[in-house]
Amino acid sequence: MSRPGRMLAATLVALAALALVPAAQALDCPNIPLDERLETAEVAFVGRVVDERSAANGPGVVYRFVVDQRVKGSIGREVEVHAPVRLVDAADEPLVHDEALGVMAALDGARIVTESCLLTDPGALLSTSDEPKGDWIKIVIGLVILALVLGFSIRRLNRRELPRRSSLDR
């Protein structure tokens, strides 16, 4: 076989191999900033999966979480979260039990429903949810201190005696 023929055969074999390889099953989530996802979520918390089972009334999986810290919504210490399919992490691996996880979810009646794209790092979820608190009090305290310093300075200036001119200065 000639050199161009071998190159063509090698190229065809490589293309066939690529065509036969299944597409990557990595999690494909929309690129929405975490603060926007948190704003649209009705429930958010940091918790740990303690149990999972198939949904009794149809397809899906029900996860039981122990809530370590509530971020948004009214939830108890333990919650059941429904998912239409088995939840996976960003590496497309099943969730690890008893490992902290940030969860954002919607309410479907009284059911909490989520999907893999609404799971996140617990630290990122907590830092996004923590808004700076106390800014106004800091401003007020700063203005009070400024007013005291200015008042003290003006008072000292008014009390200071002006130097008297002597007859030699004229």
The most confident of the ranges 3-7, 35-39, 54-58, 134-138 is: 35-39
pLDDT averaged over the chain? Answer: 83
Biggest alpha carbon distance in the chain? 120
Sign of the alpha-carbon torsion through 64, 67, 73, 75:
positive
In this prediction, residues 82-97 reach a mean pLDDT of 89
Q: How many CB atoms lie within 10 A of CB 79?
A: 19
Per-residue pLDDT reduced to its tens digit, 57-71: 878 999 999 999 999
Residue 12, pLDDT above cutoff 60: no
Question: Please, which residues have CB within 8 angstroms of residue 68's CB and are 6 or more apart in sequence?
Answer: 45, 46, 47, 48, 100, 122
Class of domain 34-129: mainly beta
- The residue type found at 95 is L
> Is residue 145 packed enough to be buried (19+ CB in 10 Å), middle (13-18) or exposed (0-12)?
exposed
